[in-house]
Amino acid sequence: MTPGKSAARSAPVRTTGSALGPDHPSHRLVDSPYLRACRGERPSRVPVWFQRQAGRSLPEYRSLRREGSILDTIADPELSAEITMQPVRRYGVDAAILYSDIVVPLQAIGFGVDVVPGVGPVIDRPFETEADLDRLRPVEPDVDLAHVEATVRILVDELDVPLIGFAGAPFTLASYLVEGRPSRTYGRTKALMLDNPGLWHRLMDRLADLSVASIRSQVLAGASALQLFDSWAGALSPRDYAEFVLPHSRRIFNELSPLGVPMAHFGVGTGELLSMFAEAGATVVGIDWRIPLDEARRRTGGQVTLQGNLDPAVCLASWPTVARRVRRILQDNDGHPGHVFNLGHGVLPETDPDILRRVVELVHQEGPASNGD
């Protein structure tokens, strides 16, 4: 990366002082490997964290977790902070991600959603008509998401790595609202989108507001980076994505940009959407294992940091196999400073935590060390 390019790209990210007070942890952690890599500056080691690193694969999580909905667990700041810390302690990852769920803001405004074990998000009364827009009032984070902010505040006092705040992106949230539960086909969602674009865009507007407000409150409370999860956007054709989703993602990143923290954007199966994932304004693009890092870098124009892309299913294999795959990803990346090692999707519940510990160790050992930039 030429110095010119690096400077141009990191400019908006470097302005952490503008929106965030001098005590915000992002200042203290500005040279942490994760934040440096997010800005495309060479980190002291290749940073690594795992999507869904906090959760079911950890025995210490299973012993803490209450019965019933995870939304009850998330509502307890002390407990959520502890769960967020668990993988940081165990694995030595370079970032923490808030233990929460993308439906939390929907629950907070009373839309009527639960996360059913073994199923996923289930909506009492799915979104169908114009009238349902009234059920999507603006979120007031200091009131509605006070428990989330409290969790963030506990965490930033304890963590010595950056905390990533996050929200679900409008399409992925809409897919749950409209289908009423996880779907493989998104038939109702797409039918609404195509047949009633006016209502669709109004729905997406409300959900984008929710994403912005929720993420902003997490960053203001102390998160040093953010990630927008559009996990299921890969179900769309590039044209539908461009018309029905991209404008809303672009607005979200545009409104969050003044916070001056790295902004990651992730979805699975997004090979054909990657240029738009970057174009939306993200500074970090998360990819799955279906596309090699070098090809993803080509499609994103080389100006964003890439995050990924070990297949979570590979982590169910034996260590020599996993190690080979980890090394291949480092090779694919070819020493580019803008790489955050991660999985291509969330940790599978049946994963042996020791495998993940060794992945972190290997990435730290064998990823290219700093050359002083």
Binding residues for a copy of itself, per CB under 8 A?
A: 185-191, 194-195, 234, 236-239, 269, 271-272, 289-292, 295, 311-314, 316-318, 321, 325, 328, 348, 350
- Tell me whether residue 19 or residue 348 sits nearer to a copy of itself (CB atom): 348
Antiparallel, parallel or unpaired: β 120-123 and 113-116: antiparallel
As a whole number of angstroms, the distance between CA 303 and CA 8 comes to: 10
Between 99 and 200, name the residue whose CB sits nearer to a copy of itself.
200
Q: Which residue has the tokens 């199923």?
A: 119
Q: How far is the CB of 222 from a copy of itself (least distance, A)?
A: 33
Q: Give dist(CA 353, CA 87) in Å, integer.
A: 9
DSSP string, 218-238: HHHHT-SEEEEE-TTGGGS-H
Paired sense of beta strands 263-266 and 120-123, if any? unpaired
Distance of CA 253 to the CA centre of its chain: 13
Q: Which residues are catalytic?
A: 52, 56, 65, 101, 176
In one-letter notation, the amino acid at residue 369 is A
Shortest CA distance to 208 belongs to which of 258, 173, 165?
A: 173
- Residue 113 β-bridge partners: 123
Residue 205 near residue 194, CB atoms below 8 Å: no
Contact assessment for residue 121 and residue 114, using Cβ atoms and an 8 Å cutoff = yes
Long-range contacts of 332-336 (CB under 8 A, 24+ apart): 332/292, 332/293, 332/294, 333/293, 333/294, 333/306, 334/294, 335/368, 336/1, 336/293, 336/297, 336/306
Residue 183: partners with Cβ closer than 8 Å, 6 or more residues away:
175, 189
Of 75 and 316, which has the nearer Cβ to a copy of itself? 316
In the bound complex, what is the minimum distance in angstroms from residue 119's beta carbon to a copy of itself?
Answer: 13
- Helices 197-221, 146-158: axis angle to 10 degrees equals 40
CB of 185 to a copy of itself, least distance (A): 5
Closer CB to a copy of itself, residue 78 or residue 294? 294
Contact in structure between 263 and 253 (CB atoms under 8 Å): yes
The minimum distance between CB 266 and a copy of itself, in angstroms, equals 17
Matching residue, tokens 């400073």 = 337
Nearer to a copy of itself, 153 or 324 (CB): 324
Q: For residue 165, list its beta bridge partners.
A: 226
Shortest reach from residue 190's CB to a copy of itself, in Å: 4
Pick 318 or 371: Cβ nearer a copy of itself = 318
Q: Closest separation between CB of residue 198 and a copy of itself, Å?
A: 13
